[in-house]
Every structure is written in C-alpha cells, then in structure tokens.
C-alpha cells in the first residue's frame, strides 16, 4: 500500500521544518521588527545624550579652570606685601606704578589656566589694563566694548558671567580669532563689609573659540550640531557655523530656547531631537541638535530591506529544503539497501554515492566498515589456521616425550656416576627446556617461570660460547608473579645471542629489566652486541608491522622467532601492545615490550583482543 507523504521521513521533516522552523522564525522576526525601532531610538537617545553630556562636562572643565585662575587676583601680593585691592586704592601710586602691578596680577591669572588667551581689568574709574598671551596683539584705542560693559553695581556680576562670542578684531588689532569672555567683579577685600558690597573693578578673561572647536573635533560627531547658548540672553558662545556669531542668528530657534530649563534633558521639537545640559552655575547650556529623519532614516530603510529579505529568505529556504530533502532520500535508500545485503551475508557490497556531502562521507564510512569487517573475519580465520598449525607442529614435536625425558635422565645419571657434573647439569637444563616447551599447553605462564627457563637456557649457551656471555635479570618479587604469554622472551634472547653477541669479540651481556607502569607492563631486553644498521632496523620493524600473520623478512629471521612473538602479542593482548626495536651499530640492541598487566591467568581470556 502506498504510504502518505506525511508518513515518510521526508514528509515528517518538512512539517517539522515549517511548524518549528520557518513559521516561528517569521513570527519572531515580526516581533523583533516591531520592537526594533523603539530599541534603536532608545539607544540613539542614550548615546547622543552621553555625547552632549561629555561635551558639557569638558566645557565646564574649561570654564572652571578659567574661573579658578580669575580667583588668583585675590591671592596676588606685591613685593611689599600689598594686595591688589590695596594697590588699586593707594592714591600715592602713580598711574605707571599701578599699571605695572595690575599687569603682573593679570599675568599670574593667565599662568593659572592654559585656556586663557588674554586678560583685561577695568577699574571703577574706567581705566583699562590688558595682557595678551600673543604679544603681537594690542588693544584698540577706540574699543568701547569693555568700557560699555563696566559694571560696578552692588549685586551685578558678583558671580561668573559669560559674554557671547565675538570677533577679537573688535577689541584689538592683529587678530582674526573669535573669543568668548568670562566676566567677574573684583571686590574690595580689605574689610568684610566691603567684600560683599564694594567692587574695585571688573575682570575680563578671553578664551579662544578654537578651544571649543578642538573639543568638538575630538568628539568626532558625524550627525547633528553642537552649540553653547544662553536662552535668557539669546546669544551663542559656540556654534559650528561662525556666521552665527556675526549676524546674531538664532539657529536653534525661539521654541528650542524656551525649552532649555533645568540641569539636563532632551526634547523632540519640529522633527529635531534637542539634547541639552547646563554648564556650571551659569545660564549657558550645551545643546546637541539632531534631525530625526537623518538619525533614524538609515535604520528605517534597513528595517524595510531586512523585512523583504527575510520574507524571500523564508520562501527560498522552504523550496531549498524540499529540493535538498528529495536529493537526500535517494542516497538514504541506497544505504538502506546495502545494509540489507550485508545483513544477508554479502561482504562484497560497495556503495557509490557522489553527492559531495555528509551522505558521501557516510557511504565512504560504510564501505570502510564493510572492508574492515571482512578483514577482521579473514584475520580471525587466518589466526585460527595458524593456531591449528602451531598445535599440529607441537603434536609432531611431542613424539614419545616421556621416552625423551627418561632417556635424558638415564644419560644424566650416567654422567653423575662418571663424576661429570657439568654434563649432568647441562642434561638437566635441557630436560627442563624440553618440558617447558613441550609440556602443558597454556596461553600464559607466570613471568617467574619464563625467566627461570631463560636462566637454564643460558647455562647451555655459556658452554657453547665458552663463558663469553652472561645474563642479568632485574625484576621485583611482586612483578615476577604476573602472567605473560608463554615463550615470549626466549625468541628475542636467542636473536640477541645469534645476531648480537656471537659476532662480538670478547664478553657480552643480555640484560632483562621488568617494570610495572601505570597501566601496562614494560619488559626491556638489552644486549651489548654488534648492533644493526638503521636500514636493518627499519626492515625488521616493517616486517613486524605487516598485518599479514606469519609474514617474514627475506632472510627468514623472523619466521619462527620475533615475528611469531609479535603476532601472538597482537592477537592475544590487543593492538595497543607489542614491542619496538632500537639498535645502534657497535653499541647494541634494545627490544622494549609493552604488555597488559595480568595478575590472574583468567585475565587472558577476558582481555581485549581487538
């Protein structure tokens, strides 16, 4: 019966993709866009309010620095210890002497603040004193600016006052700068009553507008305009357009000026955002004017574009998913069919999927898995054959073993009767060797017995080589109780004597060291024989690593020796175990075993043989 499309994996995934993917994504996007504008506007307001606040604080720092310098007039003393107030009231001084002292006081004011460009002082008699940082500038004789601003009334200009920015050329010659002026009355401090009621003159401090322009450049405002204005006096201390200083224009407008109240805030007026912050205790405000369309237009256009892109993306994703899922179904069916064939016993299955995606990787992994499974089956099969051959060879070698043992005992007893103890000892060692090799057929043996068999083997070898060789064994009593595969060490020791010590002139030693590591047993067999060349070691190692069981080198050196030991370790202990060979010509050879730690003989059956 034909299944409905919703009953297939493709149909279920499509429905799930729509219900839990595309539709929720579309709804979440709509919700996101509904809040997008508000979040952007809040972020914009917060950022521009911080920018204007930063501008206001820096302008306030400039004015505070200048105001603190103006207060230095009260600390000024002449060489005779007189204050500036005493100098101004001293009728015994000539005009020249008084001018010198006042100029010195004004210089000290300028020295206290790096922002001050020039200082002027107008006493109660209307005399003007002036000091310029730039010595080329000179006060105009016909300048009425300060004489008209001379204020000596009791309650006026006791606090700091800021005059609007104007061209400095109105005041002095040799200048094309714009300046704004800080004004404060200088009070008579010779008595407490006069300090509150009697001004001795008015101090004017000029600050170049370049100071504010440099500050604005440092802020790097890309959109909007910054101003410093006085809403009460309707004048500007700073504007980014210098023409506003010349013709008395009001770029912010009356409506904005009327809203500048309190310490700080923001308003949206006639499509413009107005951010304002009051400066010190003056009537001046730092104002940032930003057009709403200019600020938000970019985000609004992006929002529309993103909505269109999202809609088309959802449609495209649905179509792409349908095409992709259809494309995926064919290789999935191929994999399913191949798995059924493997399940039925066919191991020659090979998948051909060229989709250049994950399915191709899965198919490649499936092919490798089948190949490895086939190799493992063949490997186990060959291993069983080798095991049967070994058992058959052992049976051939066990022809009448008791007859051989008894015969050797008779010969040994005969040697003892003739007082030939050396021959008797050799016969006894040979008998033990035969019993060890052809005795009980077990896969593992206690390490102590394996080492004892080596000692008896060396008794025979010492006679053969006239005492030129000796054996050294280093093992703890605890490690000697561990189990290892039978006949694991003797082939390597034989190889060390045959190819290492036999050709050496003089005495030679085979040293065996057993050490238990954290998770494996290490046995090191070393000889100080003639060693091997690097190519010989490489060929031997390649022969050992050859996965074909029983594979030997061209000389047949490993056929019944080290290759057999290496293969048995891999088959009985696991792939992570085995031994490695190091040799240095003229120095000797080192064979390092890596074996599992078997404390009980049953561990052999339970160990990982993969």
Task: Give average pLDDT by consecutive 10-residue segment, the chain, 610 residues.
Answer: 56 70 74 73 87 93 92 88 88 89 92 90 85 69 51 54 76 73 84 72 89 90 89 86 78 90 90 91 90 73 72 77 71 79 79 75 84 77 64 53 54 61 65 62 81 84 81 92 88 86 86 93 93 87 71 50 82 87 90 91 50
The answer on 251 and 127 residing in a single domain is yes
Q: Kindly state whether residue 390 falls inside one of the protein's structural domains.
A: no
SS3 sequence, 149-169?
A: CCCCCCCCCCCCEEEEEEEHH
Contacts of 581 by beta carbon, 8 Å cutoff, 6+ apart:
537, 540, 541, 544, 589, 590, 591
* 128-132 vs 116-123, strand pairing mode: antiparallel
Question: Which of 302, 319, 346 is the endpoint of a domain?
Answer: 346
Same domain, 182 and 318: yes
Residue bearing tokens 């600390």: 75
Domain annotation covers residue 91: yes
Q: What is the CATH number of the domain that holds 491?
A: 3.30.565.10
Report the distance separating Cα 363 and Cα 354, nearest Å: 9
Cβ-based neighbour number of residue 211 at 10 Å: 19
pLDDT of res. 560: 54
- Other beta carbons less than 10 A from residue 86's beta carbon: 17
Range of the domain at 493: 457-606
Question: How many domains does the chain fold into?
Answer: 2
User: Considering 292, 313, 346, which residue would you say is the last residue of a domain?
Assistant: 346
Q: Is 445 within a domain?
A: no
Question: Which of 424, 218, 336, 234 shows the shortest CA–CA distance to 226?
Answer: 218
Question: Does residue 336 sit in the same domain as residue 466?
Answer: no
Exposure letters 182-203 (e unless 16+ CB within 10 A, then b):
bbbbbbbbeeeeeeeebbbbbb
pLDDT score of 522: 95
Q: Is 521 a member of any domain? A: yes
Helices assigned H by DSSP within 398-446: 401-417, 421-438
Helix, coil or strand: residue 596: coil
CA distance 177 to 175: 6
User: At 220, which CATH number?
Assistant: 3.30.450.20
Closest CA relative to residue 185, chosen from 166, 204, 169 = 204
Inside any domain, residue 579: yes
Q: Within this chain, do residues 342 and 491 fall inside the same structural domain, yes or no? A: no
Containing H/E element for 470?
strand 469-474
Is 366 within the bounds of a domain? no
pTM, full prediction: 0.47
203 and 76 in a common domain:
yes
Q: Is residue 443 part of a domain?
A: no
The kind and range of the H/E element at 395 are helix 358-397
Is residue 39 in some structural domain?
Answer: yes
Pair 465, 597 in one domain: yes
Domain final residue pick, 346, 372, 394? 346
How far is it, in rounded angstroms, from Cα 166 to Cα 207? 11
């Amino acid at each position: 019966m034909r299944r409905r499309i919703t009953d297939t994996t493709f149909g279920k995934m499509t429905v799930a993709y729509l219900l839990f993917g595309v539709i929720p994504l579309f709804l979440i996007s709509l919700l996101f866009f509904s809040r997008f504008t508000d979040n952007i506007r809040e972020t914009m307001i917060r950022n521009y309010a911080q920018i204007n606040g930063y501008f206001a604080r820096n302008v306030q720092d400039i004015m505070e620095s200048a105001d603190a310098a103006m207060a230095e007039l009260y600390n000024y003393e002449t060489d005779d210890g007189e204050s500036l107030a005493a100098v101004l009231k001293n009728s015994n001084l000539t005009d020249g002497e008084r001018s010198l002292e006042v100029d010195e006081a004004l210089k000290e004011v300028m020295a206290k603040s790096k922002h001050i460009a020039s200082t002027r002082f107008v006493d109660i008699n209307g005399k003007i004193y002036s000091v310029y940082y730039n010595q080329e500038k000179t006060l105009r004789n016909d300048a009425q600016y300060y004489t008209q601003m001379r204020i000596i009334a009791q309650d006026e200009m006791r606090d700091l006052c800021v005059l609007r920015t104007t061209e400095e050329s109105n005041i002095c010659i040799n200048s094309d700068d714009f300046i704004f002026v800080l004004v404060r009355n200088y009070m008579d401090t010779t008595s407490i009553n006069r300090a509150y009621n009697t001004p001795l003159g008015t101090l004017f401090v000029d600050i170049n507008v370049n100071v504010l322009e440099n500050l604005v450049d440092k802020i790097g405002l890309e959109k909007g305009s910054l101003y410093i204005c006085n809403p009460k006096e309707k004048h500007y201390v700073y504007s980014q357009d210098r023409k506003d200083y010349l013709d008395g224009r009001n770029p912010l407008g009356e409506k904005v000026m009327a809203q500048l109240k309190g310490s700080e805030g923001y308003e949206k007026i006639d499509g413009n955002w107005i951010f304002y912050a009051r400066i010190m205790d003056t009537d001046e405000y730092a104002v940032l004017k930003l057009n709403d369309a200019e600020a938000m237009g970019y985000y609004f256009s992006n929002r529309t574009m993103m909505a269109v892109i999202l809609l088309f993306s959802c449609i495209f994703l649905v179509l792409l998913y349908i095409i992709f899922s259809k494309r995926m179904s064919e290789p999935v069916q191929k994999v399913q069919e191949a798995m059924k064939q493997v399940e039925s016993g066919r191991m020659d299955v090979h998948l051909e999927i060229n989709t250049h995606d994950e399915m191709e990787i899965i198919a490649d992994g499936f092919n490798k898995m089948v190949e490895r499974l086939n190799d493992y089956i063949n490997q186990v099969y060959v291993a069983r054959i080798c095991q049967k051959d070994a058992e058959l060879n052992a049976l051939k070698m066990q022809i009448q073993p008791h007859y051989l043992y008894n015969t050797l005992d008779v010969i040994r007893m005969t040697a003892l009767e003739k007082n030939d103890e050396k021959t008797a000892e050799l016969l006894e060692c040979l008998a033990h060797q035969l019993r060890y090799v052809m005795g009980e057929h077990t896969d593992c043996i206690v390490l102590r017995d394996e080492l004892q068999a080596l000692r008896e083997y060396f008794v025979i070898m010492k006679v053969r080589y006239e005492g030129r060789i000796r054996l050294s064994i280093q093992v703890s009593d605890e490690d000697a109780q561990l189990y290892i595969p039978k006949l694991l060490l003797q082939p390597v020791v034989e190889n060390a004597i045959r190819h290492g010590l036999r050709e050496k002139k003089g005495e030679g030693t085979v040293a065996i060291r057993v050490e238990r590591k954290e998770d494996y047993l290490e046995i090191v067999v070393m000889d100080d024989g003639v060693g091997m060349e690097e190519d010989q070691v490489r060929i031997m190692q390649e022969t050992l690593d050859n996965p074909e069981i029983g594979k030997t080198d061209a000389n047949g050196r490993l056929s019944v020796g080290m290759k057999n030991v290496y293969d048995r370790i891999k088959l009985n202990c696991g792939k992570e175990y085995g031994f490695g060979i190091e040799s240095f010509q003229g120095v000797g050879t080192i064979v390092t075993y890596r074996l599992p730690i078997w404390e009980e003989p049953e561990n052999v059956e339970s160990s990982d043989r993969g």
